Amino acid sequence: MPNQQYTVNDYPIQTVLTWIKHKEIAIPEIQRPFIWKAVRVRDFIDSLYRGYPVGYLITWRAPDVRLKDGTQSVGKRVLIDGQQRVISLQAALLGQEVVNKNYKQARIIIAFHPIEERFEVANPVIRKNPEWISDISTIFDPDFKVLNFLEEYCKGNDRVDKEETYQSIHHLQSIKNNTLGIIELEPDLDVETVTEIFVRINSKGVTLNASDFVMSKIAAGEQYGGHDIRKCIDYFCRLAVSPKAFSNIAIDPSFAETEYFTKMIWLQKGRNELYIPSYTDLLRVSFMIEFQRGRLRDLVALLSGRNFETQTFEEEIVENSFQQLRNGILRYIKQNDFERFIMILKSTGFVDNSMINSLNAVNFAYGLYLMLRTEGTNPQDIAQLVRRWFVMSILTGRYTGTPETTFDEDIRNITNRGAEAYLDIVEKTNLSDTFWDIVLPQQMETSSRKSPYFNVFLASQVKANDKGFLSRDITVRTLLEGRADIHHIFPRNYLQGNNFTPRDYNQIANLAIMQQEINIAISNQSPTTYFSDLWKGCKTGEPIYGRIDKPEELQTNLDENCIPLGMETATFENYAEFLEKRRKLMATKIRDYYRNL
């Protein structure tokens, strides 16, 4: 019979706060913004006051590791679940500021009415009302003198009952003696087991992200600089979203003196819209390039000191793992490399964030770029390999499904065989003539605008500097970066009027990027009508739609947009045939684009 994998104990709230104060419990205090609204903090405190259940905290004791002198260190408690509740206690009872959803330091002040025994979020009206204790954190101050306070309170509220008021205040103070149930997980559990326990205990069906475990492990490793590593990850991702937050980060004096801070100063100059990494993305790439591994749960184990061969935990592995992670993060955030990679990414034709549905494809491409840079590969070769790997990943959906497993496999093969040789194997396996001629056209039979194939097609147009559909001067790139319409070549209303469904008329082979004014002018006319008008306008030199006024220019535009011949006679009866022809033309264009990356 298996051993029980966790124990359940009750601890006074004061004990939990003492753990936090003495850093015996690892709370990644800036892991995520505090997401609870102030009224939820109020309700939480009210529940404690009335003795209602508030759920369990879940902690995972970091494994004891063997020190160099042969003794065992005692690992910290890592808070797995309950961060919002614990921070609520810190904010309301101890008066500490929290980082809100806008990444700003803010107070959450809870007021208490001792006569009515009611809690509210403090506001100007409450602050002016002498019946309210406008900030309950004053009650929990070590220097608080209850009798002195009661004397002053009763002077301002002559109709209150002194004894009842004392009892209410005493009851409020006793919250710190209330107990919290804490589920303490065994230190030797792996990430998957901890996740499963979390789901079952909470009955939420929530899947914990491995990167969340990594963040907690980093926060627990203060003796290895984990606190600053943690801040670096959070601050970098915050600045990637909002460069204006730099001023708030710069006033963190201890962090401003670190190497991490100097490495990310460049982010204040403006936001890059193409690749905005989350902390998961940053961790995944940093782990990939330094450890040549793809599964973040392995990073959790390594930061805990796990020796995969002996199945023991060792201090030296903890120290080395933190150092390697630090090196990987510094490489990731380096301005020169990050910006060069963005340039390579844009050179594939992916110029807008909306075109990228797989951040893992971007992550692996950036990791590959950094690995090749470290190896001293020729910059031109790096650019070509990264471009091809990225687009191959998008076309084949390589990092969907089980991305970490594929990451792990690809990293090991690239390390053992070399990037160029391994890419050649992958291309021969996944991008054969059968793929281009049969598989890709079949996969393009979809009505999802998020289809990776449609995005790759648009990228191929950007790369070729193609004009928008029926545009004489404006390119697809300009339209994607500015204002563009998605035009239905067989207009939507035209097909609707002939009993076609959304799945029919929204096929990606029926879509093209177009100027809004041209799209409006065409409206719901049949292809027979507006294509005939297009050719007529070229013959007379007076175009009806757009400014193309020469037959050869019109044919070039149609070729660039993969429009089949004979559209001037096309009707809804030819729609299925049109889709089949255009899919093949689009697939051919994508094939030629890929081979020329």
Top pLDDT among 222 and 117 is at 117
pLDDT at residue number 207 = 54
Nearest partner of 324 among 302, 304, 341, 308, judged by Cα: 302
Phi, psi of 63 (to 5 degrees): -60, 145
Quick one: which H or E segment has residue 8?
A: strand 6-12
**Angle at Cα 192 formed by Cα 191 and Cα 194, nearest 5°?**
65
pLDDT at residue number 501 = 92
133 and 139 Cβ atoms separated by less than 8 Å: yes
pLDDT at residue number 259 = 92
pLDDT at residue number 523 = 87
Quick one: which H or E segment has residue 531?
A: helix 527-540
Mean pLDDT computed over 531-536: 92
Q: Is the pLDDT of residue 438 over 90?
A: yes
Mean pLDDT computed over 490-518: 92
pLDDT at residue number 146 = 87
d(CA 118, CA 172): 11
Any idea which residue has 């059968």 for tokens?
Answer: 434
41 and 91 Cβ atoms separated by less than 8 Å: yes
Domain positions in the chain:
6-202, 220-426, 442-595
Nearest partner of 161 among 153, 171, 149, judged by Cα: 153
Q: Is the pTM above the cut of 0.85?
A: no
How confident is the model over 165-186, as pLDDT tens digits? 889 999 999 998 888 888 888 7
Residue 119's beta-bridge partner residues? 112
Mean pLDDT computed over 186-212: 65
Q: Is the pLDDT of residue 204 over 60?
A: no
Mean pLDDT computed over 259-277: 89
d(CA 376, CA 378): 6
Q: Is the pLDDT of residue 386 over 60?
A: yes
How confident is the model over 22-68, as pLDDT tens digits? 777 765 443 355 667 889 999 999 999 988 888 888 887 766 554 44
d(CA 296, CA 212): 10
- 509, two tokens: 């082979």
d(CA 597, CA 220): 45
Q: Which of 18-22, 305-309, 384-388 has the lowest mean pLDDT?
A: 18-22
pLDDT at residue number 431 = 95
d(CA 368, CA 341): 10
Residue 83, CA distances (Å) to 36, 119, 198, 212, 213 in order: 11, 22, 14, 12, 13
463 SS3 class: helix
Beta pairing, strands 179-185 & 57-61: parallel
Q: Which of 89-98, 136-145, 277-286 has the lowest mean pLDDT?
A: 89-98
Residue 118's beta-bridge partner residues? 113
Mean pLDDT computed over 418-427: 96
How confident is the model over 295-351, as pLDDT tens digits? 988 898 898 888 888 888 888 999 999 999 999 999 999 999 999 999 999 999 999
Q: What is the dihedral of CA 183, 184, 189, 193, to 10 degrees?
A: 10
Top pLDDT among 327 and 248 is at 327
d(CA 12, CA 178): 5
Q: Is the pLDDT of residue 217 over 60?
A: yes
d(CA 237, CA 245): 11
Phi-psi group of 110: left, alpha or beta (phi > 0 → left; psi -120 to 50 → alpha; rest → beta): beta
389 and 410 Cβ atoms separated by less than 8 Å: no
Residue 495: Cβ-neighbour burial (10 angstroms; 0-12, 13-18, 19+): buried
- Proportion of the chain above pLDDT 90, given as a percent: 52
How confident is the model over 540-580, as pLDDT tens digits? 888 888 889 999 999 999 999 999 999 999 999 999 999 99
349 and 461 Cβ atoms separated by less than 8 Å: yes
pLDDT at residue number 66 = 47
Top pLDDT among 458 and 190 is at 458
- Classify each residue of 399-412 as buried b or exposed e, where b means 16 or more C-beta atoms within 10 Å of its C-beta: beeebbebbbebbe
Residue 352, CA distances (Å) to 90, 449, 459, 465 in order: 42, 15, 10, 15
- Proportion of the chain above pLDDT 70, given as a percent: 91
* Mean pLDDT for all residues in the chain: 87
Residue 499, CA distances (Å) to 502, 573, 578 in order: 10, 11, 17
pLDDT at residue number 142 = 86
66 and 56 Cβ atoms separated by less than 8 Å: no
Q: Report residue 272's pLDDT band, with 50, 70 and 90 as the boundaries.
A: confident
274 SS3 class: coil
How confident is the model over 118-135, as pLDDT tens digits? 999 999 999 999 999 999
Mean pLDDT computed over 267-283: 89
Task: List % helix, strand, coil for the chain (3-state, nearest 5).
Answer: 60, 10, 30
d(CA 186, CA 188): 6
d(CA 427, CA 431): 5
Q: Is the pLDDT of residue 240 over 50?
A: yes
Nearest partner of 296 among 398, 218, 186, judged by Cα: 218
Q: Report residue 287's pLDDT band, with 50, 70 and 90 as the boundaries.
A: very high
Mean pLDDT computed over 268-296: 91
Q: Report residue 200's pLDDT band, with 50, 70 and 90 as the boundaries.
A: low
Ranges 238-252, 265-279, 383-397, most confident: 383-397
pLDDT at residue number 592 = 97
pLDDT at residue number 205 = 47
Q: Report residue 75's pLDDT band, with 50, 70 and 90 as the boundaries.
A: low
pLDDT at residue number 31 = 39
Phi, psi of 259 (to 5 degrees): -65, -30
Nearest partner of 450 among 511, 387, 374, judged by Cα: 511
Helices (H), 257-402: 259-264, 279-291, 296-303, 315-332, 335-347, 359-375, 379-396
